Amino acid sequence: MNLIQNVNTLIQYGLPGHFLSRAIGRLAFCENRKVKDFLIQQFIQRFDIQMDEVAEPALDAYPHFNAFFTRALKDGIRPLAGKEHIASPADGTVLSGGQLSENTRLTAKGHHFSLAELFGSEEYNKTYQDGHYLTIYLSPKDYHRIHCPMDAELKHMVHIPGRLFSVNESTITAIPAVFARNERVIMHFKSPHGPFSMVLVGAMLVASVETPFAGLISPPGQTITEWNYHRGAHHKFAQGDEVGRFQYGSTVITVIPNSMKGVHEEMTSGRAVRMGESLGQP
């Protein structure tokens, strides 16, 4: 790790991440037309946003910057891989993936952390013993809605409070188990092919995740919050249905059991993926 990475890491340890997220959040939700239009226009130019993919290209359609940031895409612009595939839940870049080592351990840039650390519980260790995982990073320029990779039913959701370290190559290398330390939402699903889980990891400037079924997931305090969806209150999703959206760039980790075939070999670190394309087979 070089000097710049060291300094960046030290700064982040000292920064009040949640305070920064709230401060940036106020600006992102500012409804002053001149302010929000300026922010959106600068963002489009800075990140070369492909406006021909956007469902609503007119700036007047967005009451604030965050509405544009979590914009919808045109119908059909992201074809789905099909029922015999595990579709990518998001646009982004593969950070890491493969088989869980030592039964239930994940790897990110040389650091190892357990599934129990990531999930905040050992409850799913047996379910995913020797299973597979894939980590996708969403940069600010990426489409920020998260979609279901297979037809499935949401059974259990957990919000774990934590830090808001920035998620990028430098911090993943420098900060051990950053994904298991940042604020995150874990969704546990049941599909016709077996169970799978998705972890939506927060980052600096990402203090919350929003879902179409539970609204903004940002419980107060520092306690773990759980939602159990029993018979009569099931939440069913088809492949490609939206399950959540980030308020800013972050990371999605998909975990599947050993009973599924796993992720494609070409899904290696640095590969760009788009929502809907095949990550593997169930």
- Residue whose C-alpha is closest to residue 255's, from 125, 105, 128: 128
Residue 36 has pLDDT above 70, yes or no: yes
- In tens, the pLDDT along 254-267 reads 999 999 999 999 99
Pair of tokens at residue 173: 């290398």
Q: Which residue has the tokens 């021909």?
A: 52
Buried b (16+ CB within 10 A) or exposed e, 59-73: eeebebbbbbbbbeb
Greater confidence (238 vs 2) lies with 238
64 is catalytic: no
250 is catalytic: yes
Contacts of residue 45, defined as CB under 8 A and 6 or more positions apart, other chains included, come to none
197 is catalytic: no
What ranges do the domains of the chain cover? 16-69, 86-281
Give the active site residue among 64, 91, 96, 132: 91
For residues 155 and 229, the answer to whether their CB atoms sit within 8 Å is yes
Give the active site residue among 191, 197, 208, 250: 250
Give the active site residue among 64, 85, 132, 147: 147
Q: Residue 66 is inside which H or E element, if any?
A: helix 65-69
CA 243 to the chain's CA centroid:
11
Residue 120 has pLDDT above 80, yes or no: yes
- In tens, the pLDDT along 147-184 reads 999 999 999 999 887 655 444 454 444 444 444 556 78
